[in-house]
């Protein structure tokens, strides 16, 4: 029995199966399916290379001549076909995003696909998320010791943020403030969406990725207060880093999307800005990636304060871009669908919703066909939102001058 060939083939086959048909119930199996498929789902090309390499070695060693070797070879062939299907589903992300942008923003067809994807990075260097033309300023404090209003004493890394900006340091770049996921119990600012933040920064944006208090140290609405403190810090100090603080968008993944949506829907709400009630925490747009939009599920929270974003919908909500995978086993897609439907009924701003075929949770960890298409769509959405905001401001100025 060629164990050295059979074991890696079985491992890749199991992960591919979890990607193609992930178990959803019970929740423990859903979490296992996510862990097994997170690499396969976004990097099927790398797994195809692994299969090809171990098969070539097995052929060279004569392992295929045994019964076990032939069984492993058949399994490898079937797994390779499954990986091709996974790759094809990833390629469908760009058309889905194109359609969503065209439908909600009246963007031209091919908005994402016409820009192309960085295939060299996707295939050859998927984990190389940094760019040479982007500077990262790490672990800047915000809060009492870093500005942004009256805050508790900063506890370690909780009240720290990173700034991504072009090395050329142009002035007045539009700004994106990002919050990581982790279910409010884990996660950090250096983990998700770094490829997107670096991409935007290389295009002249100033991007901020912020930590915030986690359970059990912090509870709701403390997480939201921290997020608003980070936004207040950007308003107060962003111009020193080249940011145009009048053009700020907020974004997040998973629990960070829950947080970003609450930030976007509660500008200047004094309940969530203790000690810095006068700070401007409004944003011109929000981006939510595989977000959770339900009630806060941690114990010990303030039950008198609504925690679901749907409780704060209003006609003046800023434009939203919501992106979710239809195979998400950690945060089912139905929640995103309900939130988008409810928001569209109330808001007068555009609400872009893209549902990605075959996408799991956590698709923004590194370069992939799917996530680079998402990053391109976020860039397109953000640029159009900023342009629309600038035009609206100019129109208001003209009306005042006419009076």
Q: Coil, helix or strand for 237? A: helix
Pairing of strands 351-356, 243-253: unpaired
Q: Is 254 a catalytic residue?
A: yes
Largest CA distance in the chain: 89
Of the residues 63, 98, 162, 328, only one is catalytic, namely 328
Task: State the Cα angle at 367 between 11 and 290, rounded to 5°.
Answer: 85
Q: In this structure, are residues 34 and 22 in contact, taking their beta carbons and an 8 Å threshold?
A: yes
Q: Is 328 a catalytic residue?
A: yes
Pick from 279, 273, 384, 289: nearest CA to 331: 289
Q: Is 364 a catalytic residue?
A: no
Pick from 277, 362, 377: nearest CA to 30: 362
Where do we find the tokens 């696909």? 113
* Residue 45, token pair as written in the block: 């090309």
* Residue 355, token pair as written in the block: 């549902």
CA distance 150 to 293: 28
Of the residues 223, 258, 361, 367, only one is catalytic, namely 361
Kind and range of the H or E element at 352? strand 351-356
User: 398: burial class by Cβ within 10 Å (0-12, 13-18, 19+)?
Assistant: exposed
Going across the sheet that includes 206-210, the strands are 134-141, 160-166, 206-210, 173-179, 243-253, 285-289, 320-325, 351-356
Pairing of strands 134-141, 160-166: antiparallel
Of the residues 19, 198, 246, 254, only one is catalytic, namely 254
* Residue 234, token pair as written in the block: 């950007």
DSSP state for residue 240 in the 8-state scheme: G
Q: Coil, helix or strand for 323? A: strand
CA distance 146 to 155: 12
At 252, give phi and psi (nearest 5°): -170, 165
Which amino acids are annotated catalytic? 254, 328, 361
């Amino acid at each position: 029995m060629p164990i050295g060939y059979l074991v890696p083939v079985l491992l890749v086959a199991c992960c591919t199966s979890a990607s193609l048909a992930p178990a959803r119930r019970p929740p423990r199996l859903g979490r296992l399916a996510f862990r097994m498929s997170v690499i396969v789902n976004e990097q099927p090309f790398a797994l195809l290379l692994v299969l090809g390499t171990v098969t070539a070695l097995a052929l060279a060693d004569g392992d295929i001549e045994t019964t076990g070797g032939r069984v492993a070879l058949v399994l490898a062939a079937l797994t390779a076909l499954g990986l091709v299907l996974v790759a094809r589903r990833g390629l469908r992300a760009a058309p889905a995003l194109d359609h969503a942008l065209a439908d909600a923003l009246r963007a031209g067809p091919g908005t994402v696909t016409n820009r192309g994807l960085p295939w060299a990075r996707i295939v050859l260097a998927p984990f190389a998320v940094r760019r040479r033309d982007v500077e990262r300023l790490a672990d800047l404090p915000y809060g009492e010791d870093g500005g942004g209003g009256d805050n508790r004493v900063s506890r370690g890394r909780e009240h720290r943020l990173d700034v991504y900006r072009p090395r050329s340091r142009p002035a007045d770049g539009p700004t994106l403030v990002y919050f990581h996921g982790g279910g409010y119990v884990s996660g950090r600012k250096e983990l998700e969406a770094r490829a997107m933040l670096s991409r935007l920064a290389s295009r002249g944006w100033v991007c901020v990725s912020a930590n915030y208090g986690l359970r059990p140290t912090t509870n709701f609405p403390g997480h939201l207060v921290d997020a608003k403190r980070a936004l207040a810090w950007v308003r107060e100090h962003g111009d020193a880093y080249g940011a145009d603080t009048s053009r700020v968008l907020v974004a997040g993944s998973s629990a960070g999307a829950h947080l970003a949506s609450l930030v976007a829907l509660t500008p200047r709400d004094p309940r969530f800005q203790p000690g810095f009630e006068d700070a401007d925490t409004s944003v011109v747009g929000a981006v939510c990636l595989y977000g959770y939009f339900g009630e806060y599920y941690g114990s010990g929270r303030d039950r008198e304060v609504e925690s679901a974003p749907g409780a704060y919908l209003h006609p003046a909500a800023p434009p939203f871009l919501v992106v979710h995978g239809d195979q998400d086993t950690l945060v089912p897609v139905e929640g995103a669908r309900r939130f988008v439907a409810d928001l569209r009924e109330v808001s007068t701003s555009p609400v872009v919703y893209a549902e990605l075929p075959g996408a799991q949770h956590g698709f923004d960890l590194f370069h992939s066909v799917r996530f680079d298409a998402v990053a391109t769509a976020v860039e397109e959405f953000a640029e159009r939102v900023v342009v629309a905001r600038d035009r609206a401001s100019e129109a208001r100025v003209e009306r005042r001058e006419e009076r």
